[in-house]
Amino acid sequence: MAEAAVELRRGDQVESVARADVAVVDSTGRLIAFVGDPDRTTYWRSSAKPFQAIPVVVSGAAERWGLLPDELAAIASSHNGEPDQLARVRGLMERIGITPDDLVCGSHWPSDHESRDAMIRGFETPSALHNNCSGKHTGMLGLAVHLGAPISNYHEPEHAVQQAIARVIRLYAYGSERARLVTGMDGCGVPTFYLSLSRMAWAYARLVDPRGIPEAEGRAGQVVAEAMRLYPEVVGGRDTIEVRLAKASGSRLMAKEGAEAVLCLGIPERGLGVAIKMDDGNPRTLPTVAAAVLALLGIFDEESNGRLLDMARSPIYNVAGREVGEMLPVFRLTRGQIAH
């Protein structure tokens, strides 16, 4: 059962409580620590994006299209629709020979307010390029073209692209190509994966320390993870949780948020993976939980730990900008020793 993790206080009183489940797993599959139920199952959503990008590298498509590390980060991103992010994805489309009309993800306004307001002032309307998953879909189409597969149905589970992704998910999260996957349809129209937090964390641990992963996939995973670690502003955008955690940790981790308040982290120097799920699906307390988990693990230096502790206390402001309360972590990490 999810554990009370964050108190939202207004003045001296607790106004709300957010509950969470957390799993911290090493690359051997050992459960290092947890909060609530580390085997809680949920959809991986966009936190699965690094694994959806790995086939682009393994297949040779990344080499064919001349992908740079920041462009790999764009393929694994949930971008804000900022101009430089859109330019990067647009450049990939032109190189591959596709247009936004080929993407099945649909369109929405940029989540970055400055970018959205600039479009409105310019009487522009959004296309599939502006969808926060356009980088992922561009990567999938680049893989389809490279494989000589049809691009019209690249999103369907039986397509060669989705089959290649499913194989990677099985390898990283289950250690077996025969593992049974439970899937649903993600918000952007491609398969999303339903699995436990402990398996998500194990997959992220092996993403940065690929024990038991075939050599080609292991190397590809490290390439993707390193690109995401180096370019968190591409993976997320201005003031996103990926950027905030990178700054607090001194860029010593890679992170990817998913919808419905899922967050996964890979910590290369320790070979650790972390998976977090807020029980109510509201992401507002994710930064508090993530920063507090990292601080409690005590794996970074004192300076980084101090920044994480500062991040774990999140002020609450009213409309006039006056501080009226705070979000505070109220959980402890339980140490665990369960192996897959």
Secondary structure of residue 170 in the 3-state scheme: helix
Q: State CA 211 to chain mean position distance.
A: 21
Quote the CA–CA distance of 4 and 169 in Å, as a whole number.
30
Please report the domains of the chain, with CATH numbers, ordered by start residue: 3-335 (3.40.710)
Nearest to 251 by CA among 234, 228, 271: 228
Answer yes or no: are the C-beta atoms of 312 and 291 closer than 8 Å: yes
Angle between helical axes of 197-208 and 160-174 (0-180°, round to 10): 90
Answer yes or no: are the C-beta atoms of 146 and 60 closer than 8 Å: yes
- Structure confidence at residue 339 (pLDDT): 44
Q: State CA 12 to chain mean position distance.
A: 34
Answer yes or no: are the C-beta atoms of 168 and 55 closer than 8 Å: yes
How far is residue 48 from each of residues 56, 77, 182, 195, 305, measured CA to CA in Å?
Answer: 14, 10, 14, 11, 27
Nearest to 181 by CA among 172, 46, 27, 140: 172
Q: How confident is the model at residue 337 (pLDDT cuts 50, 70, 90)?
A: low
pLDDT digits (tens, 9 = 90+) for 252-286: 999 999 999 999 999 999 999 999 999 999 999 99
Q: Which residues lie closer than 8 Å to 51 by C-beta, 6 or more apart? A: 165, 168, 169, 172, 203, 207, 221
Mean pLDDT of the chain: 96
Phi, psi for residue 45 in degrees, rounded to 5: 50, -140
| Cα separation of the two ends of the chain | 20
Answer yes or no: are the C-beta atoms of 22 and 289 closer than 8 Å: yes
The pTM of the full predicted model, rounded to 2 decimals, is 0.96
pLDDT digits (tens, 9 = 90+) for 191-218: 999 999 999 999 999 999 999 999 999 9
Nearest to 188 by CA among 141, 125, 254, 245: 141
pLDDT digits (tens, 9 = 90+) for 292-330: 999 999 999 999 999 999 999 999 999 999 999 999 999
Burial class of residue 174 in the structure, from the number of CB atoms within 10 Å of its CB (0-12 exposed, 13-18 middle, 19+ buried): middle
- Structure confidence at residue 338 (pLDDT): 47
Total count of residues recorded for the chain:
340
Whether pLDDT at 246 is above 80: yes
pLDDT digits (tens, 9 = 90+) for 145-171: 999 999 999 999 999 999 999 999 999
Answer yes or no: are the C-beta atoms of 185 and 175 closer than 8 Å: no
pLDDT digits (tens, 9 = 90+) for 278-299: 999 999 999 999 999 999 999 9
Check residue 307 and report its DSSP letter.
H
How far is residue 321 from each of residues 286, 318, 324, measured CA to CA in Å?
Answer: 22, 5, 9
The two three-digit tokens of residue 187, written as one number? 């918000």
